[in-house]
Every structure is written in C-alpha cells, then in structure tokens.
Structure 1
Amino acid sequence: MKVSVSQLISVVSGMLLMAGSLGAQAQAKHTFALGNTDFMLDGKPLQMISGEMHCARIPREYWRDRMKMAKAMGLNTIGTYVFWNANEPVKGQFDFTGNNDIAAFVKMAKEEGLWVVLRPSPYACAEWEFGGYPWWLLKDSTLKVRSTDPKFLSAYTNYINHLAKQLVPLQVTHGGNILLVQIENEYGSYSDDKNYLDLNRKIFRDAGFDGVLFTCDGETQMPKGYLPGYLPAVNGLEDPAKVKELINKYHNGKGPYYIAEWYPGWFDHWGDKHARTDAAQAAKTLDQILGAGVSINMYMFHGGTTRGFMNGANMGRNEPYAPQVSSYDYDAPLDEAGNATDKYYKFRDVIARHLPAGQKLPDVPAKKPTIAISNIKLSAYADVFDNLPKPVTAKKPICFEDLDQAYGFVLYRTQISNNGLLKLKELRDYAIVYLNGKQIATLDRRLKQDSLQLSNVPVNATLDILVENNGRINYGPYLADNRHGITQAVMLDGQEVFDWKMYRLPFADLGKFAYKMQPVTAMHPTLFKGTFNLSKLADTYLDMSGFGKGFVFLNGHNLGKYWQIGPQQTLYVPAGWLKKGMNEVVVFDELKVGHQMLQALNHAVLDRKM
C-alpha cells in the first residue's frame, strides 16, 4: 500500500495532536495528601471552601446552575451525600440515571472547576428517609443496620461495589476531582464499635476507593466515632482553636483541620417554626474559620427539596417523633429554588477577602424569574375508597415491609361490633380512622396519639384505618426500629382485633385511579385533578394553605408533601418541570374534600404555622 506525502503529513499531525492531548491529560492528574496542618494538592496547601449539595434534591436540569452559583460565592469544592435507597430502591435493582446519576454530577462539578468531597457512607442521616438506608433491609425483622450483622454487611458491600463502578474512576488518584471519601457518618452518635468502623474501611478499599478516607463526628462524639489512623473531621464545631485541638488529639497530634459540617442554617419539622440563623453572625464565624486556615464544608450551601416520600424524621429517648418537611431550603445561602440570599452575599464578601492575590470571583448569575398562576381548576375527582386494589388478607395487621411496600399508605379494614377503647399498638406514623366510611378521628405519632374511645358502634361495622408513613427515622437510637404501618396489633376494649384486609396504596404513580367529574362529598382521601395552560415558563410555588394533608404530582413529578400545620405552605415547582401549553396537576388530600381551585404564587411560604 502506497502512502502519499499529504497522507503521511496528516497521519503524523494526528499522532502529534493525540500525543499532545494525552500529555495534557497526564498533566491534568493531581496528587492529594494529608499534610501536618493542611490538605496538600500537588504538594501545595489547599484550603477547601466547600458547600453541600445533593443531586437527588436538585432537578438535574439545574445542577450546573447551582454549581455556577457555588463558584460565584467563592466555593472551590462541593460536598455531597449519596443516598443508597435512591440508587437501589429494590434489592438488586440499581438506578444511576436521571437525578440519581451521581457520576454525572461529579463530572459536571469538574467541568465547573469544583473539587468533590464524596460522602457515600452509606448511612447519610441528612433528614432523608431512613438516613439513606433502603427500606427493603427492614423486610428481615432480624437484620440490624449499621452493625456487623452479616446480612447487613452483605447488602452494604454489594451496594458499595456497584457504586464503585460509577465513582472509583472519578477519584483524584485516577485523574478525577473526588478528593476525599467518607466511610461513616457521625457514627459516634450511634455506637462505638471500632471493628465495625474498620469493616467500613475495608469495604471501601476492596471496592477500589484508594484515595484519602475520613470519618466525621460531633465534638463530644468523636472518641466513639473516629477510626484510628484516618482523618477525623468534626461537625458543628465553630471555634478554630478547638477544632485544631480536637483533631490533633485524635489524629496523632496533627491535621489537616476540616469541619465536615458547618451549619449556617437548619432544617424544619412539621408543626415547628421555620428555622433561621443570623446571616451577619454566620459571616463573622466564617471569616474566623477561614482566617485560621481551617477547611470547611457548609451544610447546606443549597438544600433544594426532598421530593416524593423521602423525608426522614427525628426521634430521641426524650424527644418525640418529628418528621421533616419537604422543603430543604435550610435557610441556606442558596434558597430552595437556587437564588442567592442575603447570607450568600455576606459569605461571598468574606470569601473574597481570603482569596489568593489577584484572584477574582465570577459575577453572580441573575435571579431566576418566577410566575404566579391563578384559578387552576380541579375538575376531576377520584375517591380512594372507590379505587382500592385487591387486598391482602391476614388474621393480624401486617406492616408495610411485610406487605412489600416501601412508602405511602396502607388501608387496614375489618369488621367490629363492640364499643370501647381502640388502641393501635406502635402506630407508625399517622392514621385516619373511619367507621362505616365516616371519618371519626386522626391519630398522630408526633403527639403520642394511638387510641380513641368508640361508642355507638353498630353490629358488623366496617372499621377502616388509613395509615401513612410520615418518614422513617434518620438519626438517633431508634434508627434500627423503623418498620411502618400498624406494627404490632389493634386492640378494642382490651381484646385483639383480627381478620384484616390490607390495601396497599404506595402512590408510586397515579395511573390506575379512575376519575369522575362529580365532586366527592364523603370525607374520604381523594385525588383532585386539574389542567392549566402556560405561554411562558418560570419557577412557581403551589399554594397549599387551603388544603389538609397530602402530596402533589405535577406532570408526573411527585413534588413532595404538604400539611396544613406548616410551617411550609407552598410546594416549589421548578420551571424545567413545566410545559408550554397543557400541564396536569393532581393533588391528594387525605383530610379535606371540596377543593375546586388551586393557585400558584411567585414566592415561597415556608414560615407559617396554622
């Protein structure tokens, strides 16, 4: 085969270009290590100025926008949890697509010039359902999460091995932008088994995570939660001198010094006030921390929204069950919709003072436009009691997990003929009680309500108990005790009630419900469907203040929960989930009927208790 001079020149030029490209790639690789006082990137000190964001809480369409906002505030790093229950919703079935595509999130951060601190633990806490553990672990009532239980470790190891395929190539040791990997999260708040902690380390190492590993704990929990020989980061401690003293104590007398969670805001529980922190004071604290050379991760920089049924709950030995709201606004520097707040600008001013000489911050992107939408007519109705699936029958009531159901609701039905005290033993978490189809009471685990007095009960009356999972506990001593529904028994006048039908209502999608044009008059849980047309798209906020308790689907997206008790009264709708032309909204309300209209505001309402 003969080759012309021009062809030869072309081939040689191509080879030179390829060699140059490969050389650039090789030069792009970095080294990252722990120095005595600093993180060392390519042999030079790096102060991480990081902010937490979670890909599952931000519509994928807006990941890049939020990262640009991070850069404009002065962040050089993103901290992020990875939620096991989002990536393995059913045992053995993995989902790393769409909003769960953690690899794409990390790669995008690299494109935007941001390092990443990865926190796959896999226990996350994070005000997220079951702390990130998948519900199906609870199907085996003997399995103990966060322990050396072989059944737990087997599932855990399998998950990390699958996660590793997504993320190991993105570590800084492989030319990526993941600097640190967290192997447990605030373990000292739960237990103190160093053997379990070392098994965590081994699982990550065996899966290929070969970079710097670390743990994080609160100040008083670190003795129980750190793993000797590995970097112990601290959460919630703001005094730089104390941060250095603490990390020195548990890291062989040296740093680096890293606050893995610094709280410039806080989260909300249903029925409480909206959390707020003073922006000026937080900025002053940030200035002191950065001035001392301590690396920091703001929890949260941007919280976003906990959509669907993925909110968690808190419960302590002396604290009642307290589920979190769907908004994860967190009073963070970026609000729920990704807009800069006063806190953002104050933090930006502080960070600018600590930049290397000659470095300037990018301009802050413009605020997102919003729209209000009035008179969304709700014109089709589906009474859930008229749309029940085939029941599961059993002598005793069955919990969600034994019904093979993750989230949502279960309707428990039986026949009774007696008066007396009706008691639901270990109700998880919220129940509406009906007698012959009439709503007679609500029972709320938050308020330690599990009983009501029945009188004038007809013979063979139908007793219905609609039970809602309000969010599995994500933190504290009751993490392993998280089965839901009616988890023990129903007692009436001291006698156990038997012969139950259980109707599973996971509301994973709404495709099987039949709608009518006639409004529902009975006080039954109901779906209200409406449509509306748009000529322009922008962020908006559904006003749920006139509704009772439930959730909303918009164009197939579950926007999250609402509850009349507040403080959250709106549901954030990102512009990217709206359509020009026809849009469909479905509101589920378990407490109120008669809704005919819905409206959307051009602002959030997150601080109104009813």
Structure 2
Amino acid sequence: MRKIYLIILLSIFTVSITNAQQKQTFAISEGNFLLNGKPVQIHSGEMHYSRIPQPYWRHRLKMMKAMGLNAVATYVFWNYHETAPGVWDFKTGNKNLAEYIKIAQEEGLFVILRPGPYVCAEWEFGGYPWFLQNVPNMVIRGNNKEYLTATKAYFTELYNQVKNLQITKGGPIIMVQGENEFGSYVAQRKDVSLEDHKKYSAAVFQQLKDVGFEVPFFTSDGSWLFEGGALPGALPTANGESDITKLKNVVNQYNNGQGPYMVAEFYPGWLDHWAEPFPTQTPEETVRLTQKYLDNQVSFNYYMVHGGTNFGFTSGANYDKEHDIQPDMTSYDYDAPISEAGWATPKYSALREILKSGETPAVPEKIAVITIPKITLTKVVDLADLKAKITPVINDSPLSFEQLNQGDGYVWYSKRFTQPISGKLELNGLRDYAIVYVNGKKVAELNRYYKKYDCEIDVPFNATLDIVVENMGRINYGSQINANNKGIISPVIINGETITGDWKMYQLPMTTEPNLEAYKNSGKINRPTLYQGTFDLKKTGDTFLDMRDFGKGIVFINGINIGRYWSVGPQQTLYLPGCWLKKGKNNIVIFEQKNETIQKELKSIATPILEDLRPEKGL
C-alpha cells in the first residue's frame, strides 16, 4: 500500500512539472513539502553544471530522471562567474547556469539552488573569487562591510540570471539554500563570538531575500551543528544523518516542533584527495539507507548523484593539521551512482529499482567510448624558453600570487647570487608545491602536503636559484579559509639568513594553452617541460588519457585544460569528454613539471584508473 502511495505522489510530481508554463506552487507548511497544496517527498541528486561539459548536461539530467529522482540540486560557484573584479560571465559554455536550469525543467526535474556564497564542494577557495583577498579589511565569511558588499553584488548578479526560473514565475526552482554548512565554520572559529557569527549569517540570508528570491529557504548542517547554522525562517536540514529519531528531534527543535524532514547531503560515496586511498561505499549500504529514508518519509538529496570532473584549475583543497592541506583530485567521481563519465554503475541500478515508478523513463544510452592507441609527442620545450619571453616582476622579496594579481597556475621565482651560500633552504611559506634548481640543475622537490619545506642547498659564486611554484588549489574547507594566499608567502631563508634583493618573478598562469609553434625542441630530463603533439580521429567519443608514465602537471586538449595529474595517484587517468574532440586533427599540450624521463608518446584507454596509489619517492 505504501509503495502505491509513493508512486501516486511521484506521478503527481512528474505530471506537474512537465508543463513549464503551468502555474504551480511549492511551500513548506503543515510539516510537509507541499506541491500545489499536496504533500510530496523530494528525491533529489546533486550535480554541478560546472563539472560537466555543456553538451552533456541533458544526458546527465536524463540519467537522473531515469534513476527515479524528481529534483536536481546544484551549488552556484561565485568564482566561476566573476572572472575578474566586476566582470561577470553567466553565458559562456559551462557557465550558462540559466540554460542548465531550463534543461532540468525540460527533463522533468525541479531545481534546488545552493548559491553560497560559500559552497565548499572541493572547489577552488570554496567558491570565492581569489581576488577578494586583495580587498583591504575584507574578512571572508565574516560580518564586515567589505565582504557583505561583495556578497550583495554577487547575489544581485545571480538573481538577475535566475529570477524568472523560480517556481513562482513558472520555473523549476523550488528552494534556495541560505549560506552553507555554517554550523561547521562556527565550531571551527571559536575566536569569533557566536553573536558575530549569527549577525553574519543573518545578513547574508537577508541579502538573498532582498535581491528578490521568494521560494522557500533552507539551511544545511550536520545535525549536531544546528545551533551555529540554523536560520530563523529557513528549514533546517541535516547532512549525512542516518539516525531518523535524531534527525526528527533536531529538526523539530529548530523548526517549531515539526518537519518536513530532509537530508540535504546524503553521501552515496565520498570525496577524494591526491596521495590518499579512493574511498568507496557499496551499493547495498546506499540502498539500505535510501530505503530507510523512504520508509520514514524523509526527503533527501544524494551528494553526489554524479560528481563529474574538476576541469582546469577548479579543484580546491581541504585544510588538515596532519598534512596542512589535502589537495582534491581532478576526478570528482565521488563513487557516485552515475560515474565521472556518466555511466550507470551497479549502485545506480540498485537505487533505480527502489526509486522508479510507472512514470520513470528508460536509462539513456551510454555515450560512445573510444581509445587512442598512440599520441605522438613531436615537440619538447623547456619551460625556461617560455620564461625568457616574459617580463618579470622584480621585488626585494618574493611576492605571492595575489600580490602579483594572479589567481592560478605557476610562478617562477628567480634570484641571482653574487656570493656563494650553502646550508638549509627553508620555504616555510610555500603554497603549495615547488621544484628547486641551482644553475638549471634540479636540487629538490618541496611539498606542502608532505610538509616538506626545506632542503640542503649549495649555491656557488655567480649562480642562479630558481624555484618553480604551483598553486594546487586554495583551501575550500576548514578554519584556514582566510589564509589562502599562494606562491611564496614568507621569507626565503638559507643557512639562517633571509634572502632579499632583486627577486624576479615570472608569471605562468596557464589560463590558456601555451603556443609552442615558435619554439624548438629543448626539453631535458629533470627540467619543467612542455610537450606538444597531434592526433587524428575518424570518430570521436569519451576516453581516458593514461598518465602513468608522467610525473605531475596539466593537459590541454584542443585548447581546453582538462585538469591536473600527479603520479602519486590514486587517479592515474584524465577523463577526456568526446564532445571536446574533433574528427580529423586534434592538438595536445602537456606541461610536465618533473620530467624524470623524456616522453615520446601517450595513449588513452577505455576505463578510468582511480584507485592506484603510488607514494612519492623518498617521502
């Protein structure tokens, strides 16, 4: 009987959304979610538009619908849209949020919007634009004028994109989240009073209302953190809570003694860091908890139902006392029901069996997969050749990325010594990864994750010290989110002496694919090197670049940065969407930082390698 009741409710939910122009209502009232006045359960999945190539949005949304879900939740990434101070992009490619929402509605899904301004999400800086750190007196996630002025500008721009997509205007947006997991931040930042924390969260919530959002609001926190995160006028939801009694008790406590009850982040998998094991969860575990929620009328949102990929420099890093930071991998597979490449996993099939109804569509066909047996790398160029054409910034001491007005990529720090010096080189302010050279010869690799901040060094008379530094992603979670400068952010010390005077900094943001046409082959072992090659295709399809023979770096395909690789794993492949390939000639450029051997070719394979750990040598 109960299953028939659920099928009827889901049928109402499905039929109601199919007509985009139909006047509908959604409310939180009488202890329920009410769609057109009738109680309904939300069966949602989190899926981020920025982590999926735009041509694949519809396929992934169809996969969600075919799994038996009735809503999609997505964060909005502030730094994805404000590309420079006051410069906004909500239209280009993957940034077209309004189109994503419209497609979701066309596919019969409601939308839950999670605008932050802080999102976490294993995303660069938790969604904040890096340049906020250059604003005087600004305190990220704090109750101060400069920060709240910036958040108001962001919310205003966002609202202008989605205002007509709220359910009140005939669109699919049924709920908007106020802030994000703020209770966790309150618990971490005991140096700030609860009163000030509450003033901040209330101010941000008021901004969302002031710009015009008019659908119901909710908050999202661990069930033991509602005191810091709950907001009057917003439904509290409990992330990761499997104890139904505890869930209902804590929601009742902060919601006038009634529901509805929702787990806004139900984890069917977990996030992944470089140099750490790939976490997994069995289909049986996920099904068991899903059934528990269904049996107890608890709404839920799978985080993630489909993770996708941290393309380019979008991956962030968790703050961790043991490692200082834990950089997030390029793959955001998350062991989710829908894999990184959009495949139905055993977990997906098992969940579909308990979620589907008579209205559930068939599972879409899998996007074609190809392999590329051989990609020949015909050009091998020392990064120093590109550096030679860059005008350096010169300063008495090293400058951070932010001081150089640079967000991502790499900075090459260089210092000429007129007198010899030797001893311990200390880079306690390294953010995050560096290779050190003396007169062009590699001396050491320093690494924030392994807390390796020093090495022995011998600089002879009239020699050059070079330090090539990579930003591996700003902290997206933890108390140190306000300490997110990159590069070298403290004095360089050798043998106890602070090294000053005419530091040269060559900026290599690599926001676009390096053009190597004018360069001759010059690459050498143990030097930062750029590779270029071409390959021809008679047909296109998804594939996975096999990076197991390489060390550390990034890959561009036809001008698109598809992400970072690092030999430590567990990720050893890079997902290459077929929609970014072309019939005929395709171009590849690889920036390889370590270059322990000269590479002549690489290949692609048909399945990803995400569970192959290879600890860094000597660490």
TM-score (norm: length of structure 1): 0.93
Distance 2:537 2:513 in 1: 23
Distance 1:448 1:418 in 2: 24
User: For residue 134 of structure 2, what is the aligned residue in structure 1?
Assistant: 139
Aligned partner letter, 1:327: S
Following TM superposition, by how much is the alpha carbon of 1:513 offset from its aligned partner in structure 2, in angstroms? 4.1
| 1:54 and 2:48 matched | yes
Distance 2:534 2:455 in 1: 40
Distance 2:138 2:66 in 1: 46
Superposed CA offset, 1:450-477 (max 9, x none)? 111113x211210000110011000010
1:245-256 matches, cutoff 5 A: 245-256=249-260
Following TM superposition, by how much is the alpha carbon of 1:139 offset from its aligned partner in structure 2, in angstroms? 1.7
Counterpart contact for 1:519–1:594, Cα < 8 Å: no
User: For residue 378 of structure 1, what is the aligned residue in structure 2?
Assistant: 377
- Picking from 433, 437, 453, the partner of 1:434 is 437
| 1:608 and 2:609 matched | no
- Picking from 72, 76, 101, the partner of 1:78 is 72
1:376-455 matches, cutoff 5 A: 376-388=375-387, 389-416=390-417, 417-455=420-458
| 1:363 and 2:365 matched | no
User: For residue 5 of structure 2, what is the aligned residue in structure 1?
Assistant: none
Distance 1:226 1:64 in 2: 34
| 1:479 and 2:481 matched | yes
Counterpart contact for 1:232–1:250, Cα < 8 Å: yes
Aligned partner letter, 1:328: Y
SS at match of 1:221: helix
Percent identical pairs in the alignment equals 46
| 1:565 and 2:599 matched | no
Superposed CA offset, 1:543-597 (max 9, x none)? 0000000000001111000000000000011111110000001111000141110
Following TM superposition, by how much is the alpha carbon of 1:278 offset from its aligned partner in structure 2, in angstroms? 1.1
| 1:201 and 2:205 matched | yes
Following TM superposition, by how much is the alpha carbon of 1:316 offset from its aligned partner in structure 2, in angstroms? 3.4
Following TM superposition, by how much is the alpha carbon of 1:142 offset from its aligned partner in structure 2, in angstroms? 3.8
User: For residue 164 of structure 1, what is the aligned residue in structure 2?
Assistant: 159
Counterpart contact for 1:379–1:517, Cα < 8 Å: no
Counterpart contact for 1:380–1:515, Cα < 8 Å: no
SS at match of 2:403: helix
User: For residue 19 of structure 1, what is the aligned residue in structure 2?
Assistant: none
Following TM superposition, by how much is the alpha carbon of 1:395 offset from its aligned partner in structure 2, in angstroms? 0.1
User: For residue 4 of structure 1, what is the aligned residue in structure 2?
Assistant: none
Following TM superposition, by how much is the alpha carbon of 1:372 offset from its aligned partner in structure 2, in angstroms? 1.2
- Picking from 114, 117, 129, the partner of 2:124 is 129
Structure 2 residue runs of 5 or longer lacking an equivalent are 1-17, 187-193, 615-619
- Picking from 467, 470, 476, the partner of 1:468 is 470
Aligned partner letter, 2:541: A
SS at match of 2:569: coil
- Picking from 310, 329, 332, the partner of 2:333 is 329
Distance 1:576 1:123 in 2: 31
| 1:220 and 2:221 matched | no
Distance 1:164 1:542 in 2: 39
Following TM superposition, by how much is the alpha carbon of 1:303 offset from its aligned partner in structure 2, in angstroms? 0.6
Following TM superposition, by how much is the alpha carbon of 1:283 offset from its aligned partner in structure 2, in angstroms? 0.5
SS at match of 2:599: coil
User: For residue 236 of structure 1, what is the aligned residue in structure 2?
Assistant: 240
Structure 1 residue runs of 5 or longer lacking an equivalent are 1-23
User: For residue 66 of structure 1, what is the aligned residue in structure 2?
Assistant: 60
Bigger radius of gyration: 1
SS at match of 2:483: coil
Counterpart contact for 1:382–1:514, Cα < 8 Å: no
- Picking from 495, 498, 506, the partner of 1:496 is 498
Between 33-42 and 338-347, report the one with greater CA deviation. 33-42
User: For residue 211 of structure 1, what is the aligned residue in structure 2?
Assistant: 215
Aligned partner letter, 2:602: L
Following TM superposition, by how much is the alpha carbon of 1:211 offset from its aligned partner in structure 2, in angstroms? 1.4
Following TM superposition, by how much is the alpha carbon of 1:26 offset from its aligned partner in structure 2, in angstroms? 9.8
Counterpart contact for 1:566–1:607, Cα < 8 Å: yes
Counterpart contact for 1:381–1:515, Cα < 8 Å: no
Distance 1:267 1:339 in 2: 18
Superposed CA offset, 1:224-254 (max 9, x none)? 1111232111111122222111111111111
1:504-583 matches, cutoff 5 A: 504-514=507-517, 516=519, 518=521, 520-583=523-586
Distance 1:124 1:33 in 2: 24
User: For residue 181 of structure 1, what is the aligned residue in structure 2?
Assistant: 176
User: For residue 115 of structure 1, what is the aligned residue in structure 2?
Assistant: 110
Between 102-111 and 239-248, report the one with greater CA deviation. 239-248
Distance 2:182 2:514 in 1: 41
1:588-603 matches, cutoff 5 A: 588-592=591-595, 593-603=597-607
Paired residues, number: 581
Aligned partner letter, 1:577: W
User: For residue 7 of structure 2, what is the aligned residue in structure 1?
Assistant: none
Counterpart contact for 1:551–1:588, Cα < 8 Å: yes
Between 227-236 and 537-546, report the one with greater CA deviation. 227-236
Counterpart contact for 2:323–2:449, Cα < 8 Å: no
